[in-house]
């Protein structure tokens, strides 16, 4: 797949078949992640790949299996999500969080080293490691698209990070920024509409 075709084809997909993903493909996808820019030149990222259904269920134990419509509407209102396209996306995506992860072919749990308090940064450069790992994650999604795979993610909430640490026993200096689910898109997979932006409206030459 040509590069810009990959860029234009990448979408978050939350509906998967049960077809397994060959581990050689997973390795290629993660290798692409390791090619991303890194803040300290060390690419100090680690990946836990999980395709065992029992282990996946254990990892996802803290994620609610059902979310009521009332809860979704409360989130939309409290977060002041006023755009109809945005509201539609959240109404679909929030109830799918557990299902999309549990039914994917495999979970990839990326980890990065965070030496300072992520939630109380002293300066913006304190977030360099956090910003860098997201470059890695974007490479993973682009590579997955090039391989014909679909993917989605969830950022952990509440006590999910503590549960992940207890379940996986990972080193305490490592942080998991998100769950990544990979697999092959179901034939009826929903592709949510995107808000289209004209690049000419976003470019400012030599000043805002």
Enter the tokens of residue 81: 């999500």
Q: What is the DSSP letter of 109?
A: E
The pLDDT of residue 38 = 93
Closest CA to 156 of 110, 104, 192: 110
The pLDDT of residue 105 = 97
CA angle 162, 27, 115 (to 5 degrees): 35
The pLDDT of residue 117 = 86
pTM beyond 0.85, yes or no: yes
The pLDDT of residue 24 = 98
User: What 3-state class would DSSP assign to 126?
Assistant: helix
The partner residues of 204 in beta bridges, in order of sequence, read: none
The pLDDT of residue 89 = 96
- Alpha-carbon span 60 to 48, nearest angstrom: 14
The answer to whether the CB of 16 falls within 8 A of the CB of 185 is yes
What is the mean pLDDT, run by run of 10 residues, along the chain of 208 residues?
95 96 98 95 95 97 96 97 95 97 98 89 92 97 98 97 96 96 97 93 97
What domains can you pick out in the chain, each with its CATH number?
3-186 (3.40.109.10)
Q: What is the DSSP letter of 49?
A: E
The partner residues of 152 in beta bridges, in order of sequence, read: 181
- Alpha-carbon span 73 to 70, nearest angstrom: 5
- Which residues have C-beta within 8 Å of that of residue 26, sequence separation ≥ 6? 49, 106, 108, 182
- Alpha-carbon span 67 to 145, nearest angstrom: 29
CA diameter of the chain: 55
The answer to whether the CB of 75 falls within 8 A of the CB of 90 is yes
Q: How many helical (H) and strand (E) elements, i.e. helices and strands, does the chain have?
A: 8, 5
The pLDDT of residue 118 = 87
The pLDDT of residue 162 = 96
The pLDDT of residue 164 = 97
């Amino acid at each position: 797949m040509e590069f810009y075709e990959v860029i234009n084809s990448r979408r978050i997909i939350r509906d998967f078949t049960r077809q397994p993903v060959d581990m050689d493909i997973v390795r290629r996808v993660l290798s692409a992640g390791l090619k991303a820019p890194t803040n300290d030149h060390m690419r100090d990222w680690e990946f836990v790949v999980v395709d065992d259904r029992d282990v996946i269920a254990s990892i996802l134990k803290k994620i609610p299996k059902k979310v009521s419509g009332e809860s979704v509407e409360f989130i939309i209102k409290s977060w002041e999500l006023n755009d109809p396209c945005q509201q539609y996306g959240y109404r679909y995506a929030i109830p799918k969080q557990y299902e999309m992860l549990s039914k994917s072919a495999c979970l990839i749990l990326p980890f990065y080293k965070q030496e300072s308090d992520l939630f109380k940064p002293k300066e913006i450069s304190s977030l360099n490691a956090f910003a860098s790992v997201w470059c890695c994650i974007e490479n993973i999604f682009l590579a997955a698209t090039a391989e014909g795979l679909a993917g989605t993610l969830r950022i952990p909430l509440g006590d999910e990070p503590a549960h992940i640490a207890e379940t996986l026993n990972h080193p305490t200096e490592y942080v998991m920024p998100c769950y990544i689910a990979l697999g092959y898109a179901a034939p009826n997979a929903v592709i949510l509409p995107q808000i289209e932006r004209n690049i000419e409206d976003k470019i400012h030459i030599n000043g805002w």
